[in-house]
Amino acid sequence: MNTIKHHIGDDTLMAYVNGTLTETISVVVATHLALCPECRKNMQLMEDIAALYLLDSEPSDVISTPPSVDMLEQEDPSADLSFASEYVDKGVPAPLASQLPVHLEDIPWKKLIPGVSHYPLSVSNGSRKKGVLRLLKISPGTPIPEHSHTGQEITMILKGSYIDELGRFQFGDIADLDSAITHQPVADTDKDCICLIATDAPLKFSGFFSKLLQPLVGI
């Protein structure tokens, strides 16, 4: 059953296909793709278009025809199942599991402020390392200080749910935000909300919390 309502933005997915995303954000995108047939299909379409574009740009007599909708529909109907079966390791989808030192249940959380803990994840490959990848745990009813972004922030829900100005976000949902958005997520059930968050530039906290939080979070 697919209950995912919030998906990866087209710009982000295209950057993922082109290999131009920072590694931190790529981890979140790959983790969502492992769960979401809709975004995988979207990505397939982008890859097909990119391939056609490359063909068209080569000097050649070959006439390329775009794939018909039928062709795309027929493509690899078993792919969904194979991706779903990867949802096994350490309580998280495989692309994220490789980043976790322990099972999600055993994460040694570090307290940021009352009701909010985090766990920074290191990303291998220093050459493209930029931005921050972390797990965030929000206690029920706790608001995250309102903030905006100097760059991109992408969040995926792993457990629980939260609500902000954009709607309700539950397991598998993606919040793909750019610098135009200021938001204040609140964990809205009786369970902790655990998210995977990647940024490619520091966050900007507005108002009271900024001096308190900025040096602690380091983002």
Residues lying near Zn ion in the complex (CB under 5 A) = 7, 36, 38-39
Task: Give the phi and the psi of residue 137 in degrees, each rounded to 5.
Answer: -120, 125
Task: Give the phi and the psi of residue 205 in degrees, each rounded to 5.
Answer: -85, 135
Decide whether 11 or 38 has the Cβ nearer to Zn ion: 38
Decide whether 35 or 217 has the Cβ nearer to Zn ion: 35
The least CB distance from residue 56 to Zn ion, in Å, is 28
Decide whether 7 or 159 has the Cβ nearer to Zn ion: 7
Looking at the DSSP bridge assignments, the partners of residue 143 are 186
Decide whether 38 or 106 has the Cβ nearer to Zn ion: 38
The least CB distance from residue 181 to Zn ion, in Å, is 19
| Termini Cα distance of the chain | 35
* Token duo for residue 147: 């903030």
Number of other residues whose CB lies within 10 A of the CB of residue 206: 13
The least CB distance from residue 83 to Zn ion, in Å, is 12
Q: How far is CA 67 from CA 15, 37, 55, 95, 133, in A?
A: 22, 19, 13, 29, 37
The least CB distance from residue 86 to Zn ion, in Å, is 15
